[in-house]
Amino acid sequence: MTRSEESLPSRKGLGKIFSRKVIGLLIILLISLLFLTGFTSTHQNQSVSAEEQERFENAIVEKYVKKLENEGYEEISYELNKIIEMSQEYHIQVNTTRLPGESLDDTIIKRYDYFAMYYQVKIDDKDYLFKHEDECNQFIQNIKQYDNQDYTINKIKKLIRNETSQDEINEIIEIKKQAYEKAKAEEEARRKAKEEAERQARERARQQSTTTSSSSQNLSSLQSYAHNLVINTYGWSEYDFDCLVKLWNRESGWNPNAHNSSSGAHGIPQSLPASKMASEGSDYYTNGETQIRWGLKYIAGRYGSPANAWAHSQQTGWY
């Protein structure tokens, strides 16, 4: 055999080479087919997803607009766009998971609760928001245990994610409770102080109302003596005498022995000091008639009449 003959492949060798090429070509074709099939499938799936998304959007627009309006949503068009935007972002489908017995309508409203109706009450410049009016009313009743203010409930539409928390409710109720208890304690302290002041006043009046055993010092005779001077000596009226009675009732109870230990005022007219009445008699400290004479001269000189003296006493508490 020549060298040229040795270098040429045999018929059997050519057959093997051809077989290998055919098999390689078939493998390439198969891989290409699988790739194209997968691409087409993926494209079809995306197309189906887009269709489902469109159906979802249409379902919301057609089926839930009225529901959203009834729930108090403020911007329906905006709200729907927000729902669609979120559905795209989180791949939410129409057949979203629902609680047992919950309708799809309720699920949509609950999940996408943005612009909705709330019941608002302002307390101490802070807004408290409730989804239901009865909850707001109960909150106000709890607050009004501790104050007597009137609170107004406002219906508002607002972009809110959370209602007023129970912790915030408890906090304001506790604040109101503490303020109420403090005010109540202060009022009780004032009441006791007033009762004590009244008791002391009654005690002073009791001490000043002590009468002497002398018949000439009894109330009836002393007022009769004063009446004679008012009408006949000074020429004043019965009205002036009535004012005089009220004036000296307040000052001393018409008791010649009445003495104010804190100021030193003494006698029926409560002369200050008592020694001023000595101009009408040396028995000025115990004799009611002596005190009356001095008292009427004082009134005439300072006020002109018992009526004027009584008017001044009503305004100032003294004369």
What is the domain partition of the chain in residue ranges?
Answer: 9-92, 115-184, 216-316
Q: What are the C-alpha distances in Å from 307 to residues 95, 155, 162, 269, 302? A: 95, 63, 72, 15, 12
One pLDDT digit (tens) per residue for the chain, 319 residues: 333 333 333 434 434 443 444 334 444 444 343 334 443 443 344 444 667 656 665 665 555 566 655 655 554 555 555 555 665 555 555 444 555 666 555 555 555 544 567 899 999 989 999 988 999 999 999 999 998 889 999 987 665 556 788 999 999 999 999 999 999 999 999 999 999 988 888 887 776 655 444 434 589 899 999 999 999 999 999 999 999 999 999 999 999 999 998 889 999 999 999 999 999 999 999 999 999 999 999 999 999 999 999 999 999 989 9
